[in-house]
A and B are shown apart, each in its own frame.
Chain A
Amino acid sequence: AQRVTQPEKLLSVFKGAPVELKCNYSYSGSPELFWYVQYSRQRLQLLLRHISRESIKGFTADLNKGETSFHLKKPFAQEEDSAMYYCALGNQAGTALIFGKGTTLSVSS
């Protein structure tokens, strides 16, 4: 069965500090991993996906199949990064994305 675990419900950091939002998944096949973000009063939107291997808004995430993880990282947090972050798992069969419970990131000055 597919499962996504985000162990932290809330992560509070100071502006300029590094950020790492953890995500672990469980899936026996070839996974597709995504990070979605929901800013205050905005829609849930895609932040990045592992297949693109790109950096969006300074965030990066590397798929580690050995550790079944897809942690989201940013070297220097900004106040505008404060939001709810969801890790999501898809598969080649194309069934719907399974989301973790989300982590609220709070960046204060």
Chain B
Amino acid sequence: DSGVTQTPKHLITATGQRVTLRCSPRSGDLSVYWYQQSLDQGLQFLIQYYNGEERAKGNILERFSAQQFPDLHSELNLSSLELGDSALYFCASSVAIPGELFFGEGSRLTVL
């Protein structure tokens, strides 16, 4: 499958812990986006990278950080986790800016 892949699909952890979510964009896509989906807030834009550099920041908490590596995969690090961080985290990629976003299946994070 040459689409956007995200790992892990599901993750359960405790408050105060740290997790890393990984995203591999579609082949050839230089831009990676992270979104958080919760019942109350819908899809919230967190951060965007283009060819390894941060391009735009949205409502990303200071406890969260991300990076895009030379092979273009991206990681989203979530630390000092709180119950309210439980959500579905989506990664998307695109060829052009602006352009069609291609989404992964998401990583469901549950913080207990």
Q: Which residues of A contact B (CB under 8 A)?
A: 32, 34, 36, 43-46, 49, 86, 90-92, 94-102
Contact = CB atoms under 8 A, between A and B. Distances in A.
Contacts of B103: 43-45
Nearest to B92: A44
Interface stretch (B17-25, B38-46, B63-71, B72-80): B38-46
B16 interface: no
Contacts of B43: 44, 86, 99, 101-102
Given A43-B103, A43-B104, A45-B103, A101 B98 contact: no
Contact of A97 (B42, B101, B104, B105): B101
B89 interface: no
Contacts of A44: 43, 90, 92, 103
Given A91-B98, A96-B33, A96-B58, A43 B42 contact: no
Q: Is the interface of B mostly helix, strand, loop or mixed?
A: strand
Nearest to B90: A44
Interface of B: 3, 33, 35, 41-45, 48, 55-56, 58, 90, 92, 97-98, 100-105
B98 A90 contact: yes
A102 B92 CA distance: 17
Contacts, number: 50
| Interface core residue of B35, B43, B44, B101 (most chain A CB under 10 Å) | B43
A64 to B, nearest CB: 20
Contacts of B56: 95-96
A94 B48 CA distance: 10
A32 B42 contact: no
A54 to B, nearest CB: 13
B80 to A, nearest CB: 25
A40 to B, nearest CB: 13
